[in-house]
Chains A and B, each alone.
Chain A
Amino acid sequence: GQQVMQIPQYQHVQEGEDFTTYCNSSTTLSNIQWYKQRPGGHPVFLIQLVKSGEVKKQKRLTFQFGEAKKNSSLHITATQTTDVGTYFCAGPEGGSEKLVFGKGTKLTVNP
């Protein structure tokens, strides 16, 4: 079945540094979604990307969808302690309603 790979698995940064997590799919995706899970919490939807080459921004967060619609990235500029958590990407498997998640990137921020 489809695999959604996410790297890195862990990232530790100093507050104010930038952070990027990458998501790669073994197949072309119709869309990709990103979620954030705070420690002890549940995943919360951040954004959905649909178009090839799409770039969307939410304040300090920048999301990109690759031209081939097989990869995506999330970049955080000038991290803050509130950015701590695990970031997941998710894509539909084989054009179905089955949403498959990457293993996530756990971000820790040192104040």
Chain B
Amino acid sequence: NAGVTQTPKFRVLKTGQSMTLLCAQDMNHEYMYWYRQDPGMGLRLIHYSVGEGTTAKGEVPDGYNVSRLKKQNFLLGLESAAPSQTSVYFCASSYERGRFFTGELFFGEGSRLTVL
């Protein structure tokens, strides 16, 4: 099993460009998450999904869009990249242990994005 796979691992963008980060998991997990990690800020939740076809906003959703058309994939889009979006992005997935009870998160290796 590959677990959680993120592509691309590195990307450099110019301000105003768009791009999509892909997250794929092969564990049949219901829940998927996108976090960004900046120095001294910990992990901040951007968007998450509790199942195929559903998405919800996290702590810092502005400037990002997501889609979960298939259960195994969770896409994070930047429509018009800004330097403030320079960060390391982590995707994670988890199984549902019960209503509102998240199991352990399995993280991908991260995608380092630089916006010039």
A interface residues with partner B (beta carbon < 8 Å)? 1, 6, 9, 30-31, 33, 35, 41-45, 48, 88, 90, 92, 95-104
Contacts and interface: CB of A to CB of B under 8 A. Distances in A.
B100 A95 contact: yes
B33 A99 contact: yes
Q: How large is the interface on B (under 10, 10 to 19, 20 to 34, 35 or more residues)?
A: 20 to 34
B19 interface: no
Interface of B: 31, 33, 35, 40-45, 48, 50, 56, 58-59, 90, 92, 96, 100-110
**Which are the 9 A-B pairs with shortest beta-carbon distances?**
A103-B42, A45-B104, A101-B43, A42-B107, A95-B100, A104-B42, A43-B107, A101-B42, A97-B50
Please classify the interface of chain B as helix (H, G, I), strand (E, B), loop, or mixed, using the class held by over half of its residues: strand
B17 to A, nearest CB: 26
A1 B96 CA distance: 23
Contacts of B101: 30-31, 92
A92 B102 contact: yes
